[in-house]
Amino acid sequence: MGMLRGLALAFSVSFFSCYLAMVSSDVASSDSDGDGFLQCLREKIPRELVYTQSSSNFTDVLVSSIKNPRFFTNATARPLCIVTPGDASHVQAAVVCGRMQGVRLRVRSGGHDYEGLSYRSARPSEVFAVVDVGASLRAVRVNRLESTAWVDSGATIGELYYAIAKNDSLVAFPAGECTTVGVGGHFSGGGIGMMMRKHGLAVDRIVDAKLVNADGDLLDRAGMGEDLFWAIRGGGGGSFGVVLSWKVQLVNVPPTVTVFNIGKTVDQGAVDILTRWQDVAPSLPSDLTIRVIVQQGQQALFQGQYLGACGALVETMGEQFPELGMTSADCQQMTWLQSAATPFISFSSNGTLEEVLLNRTASLSTSTKGKSDYVRRAITKAAWEEIFSRWFAMDGAGRLILEPHGGFMDTIPAAATPYPHRNGVLYVIQYMAFWQQQGEGGAAAKSWIGGLYDFMGQHVSKNPRRAYVNFRDLDIGQNDDDGTFDFENGPLWGERYFVGNYRRLASVKSVVDPTNYFRNEQSIPPLIETTTQVM
């Protein structure tokens, strides 16, 4: 509690025992049918910015940024309406009307949430509306003198990278690898990527933000205060308000970067190389990031990005990771922006830089389920052998993506931002299962990912087993609609994402949104202080 200076006033009057509870709020008790909400919106927002279920292109707008067809089926409950704000006042109006009329809001920026929480509710009875900031709040304004940019939440990271590099190709921003990811959700949860070993997460480079809070107030960093500003940089989207834009500090990149993509099958020594990679990758020079994709075909793909030219890279690889056998023939030299758009990293299709980086179109063909773990002690060779021989020989096998930490990541204290997975983390594992049909198909894929995740429990970080909030996974726990949690006796999903930062997030929430208006299946609940002795 020592760090909660800003909350001292609220906590100083009594002794208390703490637990987390879902408080009943103005909204929970409402049985709104939405008419009052729509009427309220009509008075405050231009009609053409509100798509109701009866609008002819309601479905087009709803589906426009859905990335996971699992959550676009006939059975998926539809929002009452979709608000596509053109400026801050429209977002403020949606919040004010929502609170007044008992309608919850789901905020959507890029629509990539693994559980679809930005546009669907897992509770069929919930009346909710979507505020889709991705529809038009997408500007990027670069300030070259300051080496900063303001980026609207609805922009994709591809749009951000493009706008920065078009202004000056020697600056960039450290964030994710898939260009269609939305800035709004991505920055809210952390933002890991190929430059994090040198420059940190996206949230490590955010210096200001504009947010509409649960009272409908528009606040910047000075207005919201340091506790709330801390919470929105990694505490996960959808808990604290609607972030409209972020001010980011740009980083320098060299004119030439080098990427490589080296596949090794088990027969070619993938197990030994991967076992070695676990210790090598987190301690390489921070200019060099090598991630690994383990996939079908008994194969590990080693994908590297080096912030420099081929010659120096080959030398470093020869000294530090000779096992991979990388040579200058593996080098692909390009600009940083090209590396951010290159299919080897982002899996996007061929096309011009503009076509790849600015393409927001969702492909709705592949359903996915993701999960995550963190590794602090290298997994044994025997375990990797079993992962390949047993789990990647199975029907429904998907892929693992391993992303090294270390470097700059080790220098940031775990409490500096809500993202706690810092010093000593070797790498994060993302498990991904996929199948080619809508809805609840994919039995083999789901059973594969569930079984593998159980198996991996013995090999990864424990007490609590860690997870990354941006790889959202409802299996690890959900807020109870009416129940209360005992803070001390979990198991709590929040501690798995945020470890020691969960409590501070809940404390901030109790101050800025005490009635829990911004709420979803995994939003931060307010920390309720029960008074045991009143002065």
Ligand X SMILES: *[C@@H]1O[C@H](CO)[C@@H](O)[C@H](O)[C@H]1NC(C)=O
Ligand Y SMILES: Cc1cc2nc3c(=O)[nH]c(=O)nc-3n(C[C@H](O)[C@H](O)[C@H](O)COP(=O)(O)OP(=O)(O)OC[C@H]3O[C@@H](n4cnc5c(N)ncnc54)[C@H](O)[C@@H]3O)c2cc1C
Binding site for ligand Y (CB under 6 A): 67, 106-114, 117-118, 133, 153, 176-178, 181-182, 184-186, 188-193, 237-238, 242-243, 470
Least distance between ligand Y and beta carbon 520 (Å) = 6
Nearer to ligand X, 17 or 57 (CB): 57
Q: Which residue has the tokens 């300051």?
A: 146
| Least Cβ distance, residue 510 to ligand X (angstroms) | 38
Distance of closest approach, residue 374 Cβ to ligand Y, in angstroms: 13
Residue 249 C-beta: closest distance to ligand Y, Å: 18
Q: State yes or no: residue 60 binds ligand X (CB under 6 A).
A: yes
Distance (Å, whole) CA 325 – CA 394: 29
Positions in 439-468 near ligand X (CB under 6 A): 439
Residue 12: name its binding partner from ligand Y, ligand X, none (Cβ under 5 to 8 Å by kind).
none
The residue within the footprint of ligand X, chosen from 318, 343, 457, 500 (CB under 6 A), is 343
382 burial (CB, 10 Å; 0-12 / 13-18 / 19+) is: exposed
Query: Among residues 261 and 316, whose Cβ is nearest to ligand X?
Result: 261
Give min distance, CB of 311 to ligand X, in A: 27
Cα 9 off chain centre by: 32
361 vs 533, beta carbon nearer ligand X: 361
Q: 3-state DSSP call for residue 273?
A: helix
Residues 130 to 169: which contact ligand X by CB under 6 A?
142-145, 166-167
- Residue 473: strand, helix, or coil: coil
Query: Which residue in the shown chain puts its C-beta closest to ligand Y?
Result: 237
Query: 511: closest CA among 291, 227, 246, 95?
Result: 227
Give Cα 51 to chain centroid, integer Å.
27
Q: 4, 61, 414, 474: which one contacts ligand X (CB under 6 A)?
A: 61
Q: Does 363 bind ligand X (CB under 6 A)?
A: yes
- Shortest spacing between CB 162 and ligand Y, in angstroms: 16
Name residues whose C-beta falls within 8 Å of residue 451's C-beta, 6 or more positions apart in sequence: 391
| Residue 133 or 290 with smaller CB distance to ligand Y | 133
d(CA 419, CA 97): 33
Strands 171-172 and 148-152: unpaired
Q: How far is the CB of 63 from ligand X (least distance, A)?
A: 10
CA distance 312 to 317: 9
Which range in 26-34, 101-109, 269-277, 354-362 contacts ligand X by CB under 6 A?
A: 354-362
Query: How far lies 93's CA from each of 152, 360, 484, 523, in Å?
Result: 18, 27, 31, 22
Q: How far is the CB of 385 from ligand X (least distance, A)?
A: 31
Spatial CA neighbour of 308 closest among 232, 272, 255, 346: 255
H/E segment holding residue 455? helix 443-456
* Strand ranges inside 144-256, DSSP E: 148-152, 171-172, 206-212, 218-219, 242-249, 251-252
Per CB under 6 A, the list member of 188, 305, 438, 501 interacting with ligand X is 438
- Residue closer to ligand X, measured from CB, 134 or 174: 134
Residues in the site for ligand X, rule: CB under 6 A? 56-57, 60-61, 73-74, 142-145, 166-167, 343, 349-351, 355, 359, 361, 363, 438-439
